[in-house]
Amino acid sequence: MKQTGNWKRERLGLLMIAASLVAIVFLVILLLAHQRDSRESAIRTRGLNLVQLLSGMPVQELLPKDGQRGLLQVFGYGQRSTEIAYAGLVDPAGRVLNGFTAPGVIMPETKIPDEPSSWLAEQPRDADGRSVIEFHAPLLADGRLRGFIRLGYFKPTLKIGYEQLPFIASLALTVFLLTPIFYLLVKREVSPLRAASHQIDVLIRSDTFQKVDLSATGELSDFLQSFNRFTERSLQRIHELESGGDSLQTSNMLLSYKQGRIEAVLQALPEAIIVLDETGAATYANAKVPGLLGIKRDEVVGQLPREWCVEPDLLAYLSRYQHNTNRGYAEPAVVFSHPQAPEKTIAATAYPLFSPHDPSQTSGTLVVFRDVTQEFMAREARGEFVAHVAHELKSPLNVLHLYSDELLEMGSGDEALRIEAVNVIHDEVDRLSTLINNLLSITKIEMGSMSLDRRRVRLRDLLQDAMESVSRNGRDTDLQFTLDLPRELPPVTVDKDLLRVAVNNLLTNAIKYNRPGGKVTLSAAETDEAIEIRVTDSGIGITHEDQAHIFEKFYRSNEEPVLQKPGHGLGLSLAKQIIDLHHGRLNVTSTPGHGTEFTIELSKEEDLVAQVI
Amino acid sequence: MPRVLIADDEPHVIRVLRLRLEHAGYQVETAANGAVALDHVRDHQPDVLITDVQMPRMTGRELCEQIQAELPDRKFLIVVLTSRTEVEHREWSRKLTNTRFLEKPASMSQLLAMLDDYFAAQLPIPGGTP
C-alpha cells in the first residue's frame, strides 16, 4: 500500500522524465531530418553543377588514356566515397563506356529518354537496395550526341554521425537539467493541492468535521481560498445541524419522558382509561381496561368502539364523539352493567381533549370507566335508609295526629278515651324520642364522627344499673329477672353511656320478645382473653334465616309474634355498631320457641390498649 | 251499613280509625297485614278497603295487585293510606281502578269526607246510608 502510495506520489516525476526522454528523441529526430534535407539539397545543387560541368568537358578528357586515369576516375576517387555511388560515361544506348562505382555498388542500367529536354535531369534510382539520386547530362560533340554523363549520389539517410554526438549529448543534458526544474516548479504548485487532498482525506476518514486552512500562491490561491470558505461554511452548517440535532434529541427525550410519565399516570389511575382519536378509534387503553370491562387491551387499541363495545348505551354515547371536533363539553356519564358480571355497575364519562394550539378544536376523547357498584349500592342504601327513617318517623306522628285529632273532636266527653289518647301520645313521643336518639347514634357511628369517651368503668355497677332500669320498666310483666354476676369483675375501659345503650337494647329485646312468665338473665364472666356479658331470655327465639339479618338497620322479622310488637329494627343494629366501635364482638345463639342468648365479648387486650391511650 | 276493612300493622291507627268510622256509621273490620286482609276480601268483599302500604308478610301494594288480579270487576273502593309518599307508590296505585291515595298523617275528617263523597256518588248506596 505504501509503495503504491509512493509510486502515485512520484508519478509526476516519472512522467516528467519520460516526457523529457520523448522530447530528446523528438528533437534528435528533427535535427537529423533537417540535416538529411540539407545534405540532400546540397547534393542536388552539387550534382547538377557537376554533371553539367563534366558534360562540357571533351570526351577524351573524361576517358582514361595511356594508362592514366580519366577525369571521371579522378573525380570519383576525389569525392567522398560516402556520397558518390557511381559516376560513368554511357553511350546513347546506355552502355557504360567508362566510370567507377563505390564499393559494393553496381551502376544500374538506364534508358535515357529520347527527348533532348529530358537529357539533363535527375532521377531517383535504386542501386543494390540503396536509394540513389542520379544526375545525368548529354555529351555533345560537333552537335551530335555522343553519350551521357551519369552521376549517382547516395540519398542521405537519418543517421547520427560521430561528430553530432557532442551536440546531441549537450541537448539531452540540457533537457535533463530542465526536467527537475520543471518538476520542482510543478511540484511547488501542486503541493498545496496535495496537502488539501491529504487534509480532505483525513476529514473523510475522521468522525468529526474540522475547519481546514489551506494556502497557496498563484492560480491555486483563489481556488484554495474558495475551498477554505466552503469548508468553513460547511463546518458552520454542520454545527447548526448538529445543534439542531441536539435540540431535536433533547426534545425527543423530553417527549418520551413526558409520554412515559403520562402513561405511568394513566396506568396508576384506579379507573380504566381509553383514549380515542378524532375518528373515534382507540389509541390507548390502560391496564385496568381488561379487569373492569372484560376486554383485552389489544382488542380495543386501533379499533372503533363498535368493534369492542357490546353495550348499546355506551356505544351510542361514544359514537357521539366520533368525527365530532367541535364538541367542547363532557356529557354526563353513561351507566351500564359489566357484560360478564351484571351485578357490577360501571360509569363511563367522556372528556374531550382540547388541542393545545387551538382550544376550539378537540384532538380526541378521554373515556374514563369507573366501577360505581359501591356508590350505587350506597346510594340505593341511602335512599332506602331515608325512606325507612321517614316512614318510622311518620308512623308515630300519624298516631299522634289521629289521637290529637280525636281529642279535639270529642271535647271532654269520653274520659276513658281521653286517658287512652294521652297515654298513647305519651308512649308515641317516647318512641319517637328513642327512635331519633338511635338514629342519631347510628348516623354518628356510621359517619365516623362518634368518638368514644372511654373511661375506666366498674362493669358490675354498670350492669346492675342497666338491669334495675329495665326491670323497673318491665315490672308490669310477669317476667323473672336474674342478674348473675361474679363477685369480682375487673374494671373495663369503655364508653359508659354507649355500652349502657347496647346492653339496654339487648335487655329491652329480651323483655319485648319474651313469653308470659319467661326469664331474662343478665350475666357476666371473665375468661383468659375477654370479658363476656350475656343477655339470655326464654322468649320466642329467632329463626335461622332472621339471625343472618337481625343486625341490619330497619330489619324486622316477618314472624307474627315479632310483628305484634312495636319496633323500628334499629336496636340490635345500634348495639352491634357500639360493640364494633369497642373492637368487641356481639354474637347471637337462638332456638326458635325456646329463647335467645346475646353475648358481648370485650377483648382484654383491646382494653389494655384503650387504657394506654 | 257500609263495611270498611282496615289493613294496618299499627294497632293505634286501627284503634282510632275504627272508633271514628264506627261513630260515622260504618261497620269496621280490621287486619294486621296484607295477607289477613286478602283472606277477608276473599271471604266477603267490603264496601271500602283502607290499607297501609308497609306491612309485614304482605305489603299494601301486593294486596292491591292481588285483588286486582283476582277481582278485575271489583266494585269496592280502595283507599291507600300510607306514610310512604314516594312517587312510585302513587304511580302503582294510580294504575289501579277505583283507588284513592291518601297520605299519612291524614286527618280523620279528610278521610271521612272522601268516603262521604264516594258513597254520595254511588247510587244506589250499597248497604244504605252511613
Round to the nearest angstrom and report the end-to-end CA distance of chain A. 93
Which range has the worst mean pLDDT, A74-78, A145-149, A178-182, B126-130? B126-130
Chain B residue nearest residue A392, CA to CA: B83
Interface contact B54, partner A, CB < 8 A: yes
Q: Does residue A558 sit at the B interface (CB-CB below 8 Å)?
A: yes
Looking at domain A451-612, does it have CATH number 1.10.10.10? no
Name the nearest CA neighbour of B21 among A423, A564, A411, A409.
Answer: A409
What is the distance in angstroms between the Cα of B49 and the nearest Cα belonging to chain A?
19
Q: Is A410 touching B (CB cutoff 8 A)?
A: no
pLDDT at A294 exceeding the cut of 90: no
Least Cα distance to A47 among A110, A129, A132, A161 occurs for A132
Instruction: Give me the residue label for grid cell 546506355.
Output: A94
Shortest CA distance from B104: residue in chain A: A398
pLDDT above 90 (res A183): no
pLDDT of amino acid B129: 45
User: How many domains does the structure of chain B reveal?
Assistant: 1
pLDDT tens for A432-444 read: 888 888 888 888 8
Q: Which of A538, A524, A547, A542 is nearest to A602 (CA)?
A: A524
- Of the candidates B54, B105, B107, the beta carbon closest to that of A397 is on B105
B19/chain A closest Cα distance in angstroms: 9
Instruction: Check B13 against A428: CB less than 8 A apart.
Output: no
Residues of B in contact with A414 (CB under 8 A): none
Is residue B29 domain-resident?
Answer: yes
**For residue A57, which of A151, A137, A128 has the smallest C-alpha distance?**
A137
Residue A405 contacts B where some CB pair is shorter than 8 Å: yes
Q: What is the pLDDT of residue A591?
A: 92
Q: What is the interface pTM, i.e. ipTM, of the complex? A: 0.83
Q: Which of residues 30-49 of B touch A (CB under 8 A)?
A: 32-33
Are A352 and A365 within 8 A, CB to CB?
yes
Q: What is the pLDDT of residues B14-25, one digit of tens each?
A: 988 998 899 889
CB contact under 8 A, B104 and A394: yes
Q: Is residue B68 part of a domain?
A: yes
Q: With CB atoms and an 8 Å threshold, state whether B54 touches A391.
A: yes
Instruction: Among B12, B56, B107, select the one facing A405 at the smallest CB separation.
Output: B107
In a domain, B30, yes or no: yes
Q: What percent of chain A has pLDDT over 90?
A: 11
Is A394–B19 a contact, with Cβ atoms under 8 angstroms apart? no
The answer to whether the CB atoms of A563 and B9 lie below 8 A apart is yes
Least CB-CB distance to A556: which of B56, B107, B108?
B56
Partner-chain residue, chosen from B13, B56, B104, that has the shortest CB–CB distance to A563: B56
Distance CA A328, CA A360 (A): 7
- Does the CB of B79 have a partner CB in chain A at under 8 Å? no
Q: Do A409 and B86 touch (CB under 8 A)?
A: no
**Which residues in chain A have Cβ-Cβ distances shorter than 8 Å to B20?**
406, 409
Q: Above 60 in pLDDT, residue A2?
A: no
- A272-371 has the same fold as A11-159: yes
Q: Does the pLDDT at position A217 exceed 70?
A: no
The residue of A382, A391, A399, A402 whose CB has the most chain B CBs within 10 angstroms, and thus the best one to mutate to test that interface, is A402
Length of chain A, in residues: 613
Chain B: closest CA distance from residue A430 (Å): 15
* Residue B56, C-alpha cell as written in the block: 309485614
| pLDDT value at residue B128 | 43
Distance CA A471, CA B40 (A): 40
Model confidence over A527-568: pLDDT tens digits?
A: 988 999 999 999 999 999 899 889 988 788 877 777 777 777
Distance (Å) from the alpha carbon of B43 to chain A's nearest alpha carbon: 22
Identify how many contiguous H helices and E strands chain B contains and give both numbers: 5, 5
All three cell numbers of A324, joined, read 365530532
Stretch among A67-81, A311-325, A334-348, B82-96 having the lowest mean pLDDT: A67-81
Place of cell 329467632: A542
Per the CB < 8 A criterion, the answer to whether A404 and A396 are in contact is: no
The pLDDT of residue A6 is: 64
Cβ within 8 Å, pair A405-B83: no
Task: Please give the grid coordinates belonging to residue A371.
Answer: 366501577
A564 to chain B: which residues are within 8 Å by CB?
A: 32
Q: How far apart are CA B118 and CA B130, in angstroms?
A: 12
User: A145, exposed or middle or buried, with CB in 10 Å at 0-12, 13-18, 19+?
Assistant: middle
A77 pLDDT more than 80: no
Residue of A398, A427, A563 to mutate for B, most B C-beta atoms under 10 A: A398
The predicted-structure confidence for A333-389, as pLDDT tens digits, reads as follows 888 887 777 788 889 988 888 877 777 777 788 899 988 888 888 788 777 778 778
Nearest-CA distance B72 → chain A (Å): 29
Instruction: Test B108 with A405 for CB contact under 8 angstroms.
Output: yes
**Under an 8 A CB cutoff, do B10 and A400 touch?**
no
* B20·A406 Cβ contact <8 A: yes
Q: What's the rounded Cα separation, in Å, for the pair A295 and A317?
A: 18
Q: Using a CB–CB cutoff of 8 Å, tell me whether B9 touches chain A.
A: yes
A563 touches chain B (CB under 8 A): yes
**Alpha-carbon distances of A270 from A274, A369, A376, rounded to whole Å:** 13, 9, 17
Q: Do A406 and B108 touch (CB under 8 A)?
A: yes
Q: What is the CATH number of domain A11-159?
A: 3.30.450.20
| A399 neighbourhood in chain B, CB within 8 Å | 10, 12-13, 16
Q: Which domain does B50 fall in, by range?
A: 3-117
The answer to whether the CB atoms of A403 and B16 lie below 8 A apart is: yes
pLDDT on residue A510: 92
Whether B32 sits inside 8 A of A397 (CB atoms) is no
User: Does A1 have pLDDT greater than 60?
Assistant: no
* pLDDT given at position A79: 58
Side by side, the strands of the sheet bearing A519-526 are A480-484, A519-526, A530-537, A595-603, A585-591
Asked whether residue B35 is domain-assigned, the answer is yes
The pLDDT of residue A597 is 95
Q: Cβ neighbours of residue A474 under 8 Å, at least 6 residues apart?
A: A481, A511, A520
pLDDT range class, residue B127, cuts 50, 70, 90 = very low
Residue B39, SS3? helix
For residue B17, which residues of chain A lie inside 8 Å, CB to CB? Answer: 402
Fold of A272-371: Beta-Lactamase (3.30.450)
The minimal CB distance from A398 to the residues B19, B56, B83 is found for B83
CA distance A201 to A439: 95
Identify the pLDDT of residue A218. 65
Is the pLDDT reported for residue A503 higher than 80?
yes
The CATH number of the domain where B85 resides is what? 3.40.50.2300
In this prediction, residue A221 has a pLDDT band, given cuts at 50, 70 and 90, of confident
Q: Is the pLDDT of residue A80 over 60?
A: no
Provide the CA A559 distance to its chain's centre, in angstroms: 72
CA distances from A202 to A51, A207, A294 (A): 80, 9, 64
Judge whether B124 lies within some domain. no
* Chain A nearest-CA residue for B105: A398
Q: What is the per-residue pLDDT for A326?
A: 47
pLDDT in tens, A375-427: 888 788 777 778 778 877 888 888 888 888 888 877 657 788 888 888 888 88
Q: Work out the pLDDT band at B28, boundaries 50, 70, 90.
A: very high
Which DSSP category does A474 fall into?
G
Write out chain B residues lying below 8 Å of A383, CB-based: none
> What are the angstrom distances between the C-alpha of A90 and each of A107, A115, A133, A239, B18?
11, 17, 17, 100, 195
What b/e readout covers A359-384, taking b as 16+ CB neighbours within 10 angstroms?
A: eeebebbbbbbbbbbeeeeeeeeeee
- In whole numbers, what is the pLDDT of chain A averaged over residues? 82
Interchain contact A306–B (C-beta under 8 A): no
What does the alpha-carbon distance between residue A544 and residue A527 come to, in Å, rounded to a whole number? 28
Confidence of residue B79 (pLDDT cuts 50, 70, 90): very high
Return the domain boundaries, chain A.
11-159, 179-268, 272-371, 377-432, 451-612
Higher-scoring residue by pLDDT: A367, A327: A367
The residues, any chain, with a CB within 8 Å of residue B7's CB and separated by 6 or more, are: B30, B31, B32, B33, B34, B36, B37, B49, B50, B51, B52, B55, B60, B63
Contact A395 B20 (CB under 8 A): no
Per the CB < 8 A criterion, the answer to whether B12 and B37 are in contact is no
Of B46, B72, B85, B63, which is closest to residue B8 (Cα–Cα)?
B63
User: Is the pLDDT confidence value at A210 over 70?
Assistant: no
